[in-house]
């Protein structure tokens, strides 16, 4: 997000509840996200800096006052009053707040770590099960069939908050891949703990001591608590890669071989 949108999201978070069961708030904000995603003209109207706040609030109240509870309505009204760099940022921010509300609910139940782990494990299942991924991302497969598939896979196995977040990621990805959507959810869960997530891919299993050392080194580098999510991929041959946010640290043998091959190819091309 650009500066204006980041500032607007910070302002919305300042009026956001920080405890309690916020399931209803999460669901209502998600419903608004669905509405705005499908109504481009409404999305533009609520984010247009040339439109007065009075007009925007009138639109929000006319459409949503009878459909939202007071907390959700006030957040949407705050979003309408704010200044956004682009229309999509308004919708992205409301979606992020919907996720926050779900995670706050999990945190209040002492289940935030479980939700974070379950999101990660589901992502690993998708990596391993190509047919499952294909079904859940098939645009021609009706939403109710995808819901049934998720229920068969996850009922009784994950926290209800995890299920709702994954259901949303599957049914309304909003242009993202399912992997990106799940990674975004994991990052937001980590933020609730004021920590970063390091997505580690290693050629071999890391021992507990190696994981502790890596976590400590990354925490020192990023000056922040870091939680490791580790995947083993023998294709790296040796070493590992670490991605924290947009920053990638590639210390794999595969990368070193590719770099050596590139240099050799470059030299041979000059002969």
Return the domain boundaries, the chain. Answer: 1-109, 110-193, 195-270
Mind listing the pLDDT tens digit for each residue in 142-160?
999 999 999 999 999 999 9
CA distances in angstroms from 21 to 1, 7, 106, 263, listed in the order given: 29, 26, 8, 57
**DSSP characters over 213-265:** HHHHHHHHHHTSEEEEEEEE-GGG-SEEEEEETTEEEEEEHHHHHHHHHHHHH
pLDDT of residue 39: 93
pLDDT number for residue 271: 40
pLDDT digits (tens, 9 = 90+) for 173-200: 999 999 999 999 988 988 877 667 788 8
pLDDT recorded at residue 267? 56
Phi, psi of 83 (to 5 degrees): -100, 130
State pTM to two decimals. Answer: 0.75
Q: If pLDDT is split at 50, 70 and 90, which confidence band does 98 have? A: very high
Task: Centre a 10 Å sphere on the Cβ of residue 248 and count the other Cβ atoms it contains.
Answer: 10
Distance CA 253, CA 156 (A): 41
Give the whole-angstrom CA distance, residue 29 versus residue 91. Answer: 10
Architecture of domain 195-270: 3-Layer(aba) Sandwich (3.40)
Please check whether residue 102 is in contact with residue 56, taking contact to mean a CB–CB distance below 8 angstroms.
no
Output the six-digit token pair for 121: 């494990």
Spatial CB neighbours of 141, under 8 Å, sequence gap ≥ 6: 135
Burial 47-74 (b: 16+ CB within 10 A, else e): beeeeeeeebbeebeebbeeebeebbbe
> Do 216 and 225 form a contact (C-beta atoms < 8 A)?
no
* 133/267: higher pLDDT: 133
Separation of alpha carbons 33 and 135, rounded Å: 24
């Amino acid at each position: 997000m650009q500066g204006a949108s980041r500032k607007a999201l910070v302002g919305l978070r300042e009026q956001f509840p920080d405890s309690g069961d916020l399931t209803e708030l999460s669901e209502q904000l998600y419903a608004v996200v669905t509405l705005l995603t499908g109504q481009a003209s409404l999305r533009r109207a609520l984010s247009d800096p040339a439109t007065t706040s009075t007009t925007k609030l009138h639109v929000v109240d006319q459409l949503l006052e009878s459909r939202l509870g007071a907390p959700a309505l006030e957040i949407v009204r705050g979003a309408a009053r704010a200044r956004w760099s682009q229309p999509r940022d308004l919708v992205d921010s409301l979606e992020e707040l919907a996720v926050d509300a779900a995670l706050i609910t999990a945190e209040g139940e002492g289940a935030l770590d479980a939700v974070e782990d379950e999101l990660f494990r589901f992502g690993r299942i998708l990596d391993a099960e190509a047919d499952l991924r294909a079904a859940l991302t098939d645009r021609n497969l009706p939403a109710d069939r995808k819901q049934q598939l998720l229920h068969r896979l996850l009922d009784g196995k994950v926290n209800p908050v995890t299920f709702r977040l994954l259901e949303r990621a599957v049914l309304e990805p909003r242009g993202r891949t399912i992997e990106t959507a799940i990674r975004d959810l994991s990052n937001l869960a980590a933020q609730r703990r004021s920590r970063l997530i390091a997505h580690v891919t290693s050629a071999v299993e890391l021992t507990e001591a190696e994981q502790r050392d890596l976590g400590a080194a990354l925490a020192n580098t990023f000056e922040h608590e870091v939680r490791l999510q580790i995947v083993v991929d023998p294709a790296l041959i040796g070493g590992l890669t670490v991605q924290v946010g947009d920053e990638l640290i590639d210390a794999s043998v595969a990368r070193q071989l590719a770099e050596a091959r590139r240099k050799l190819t470059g030299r041979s091309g000059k002969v």
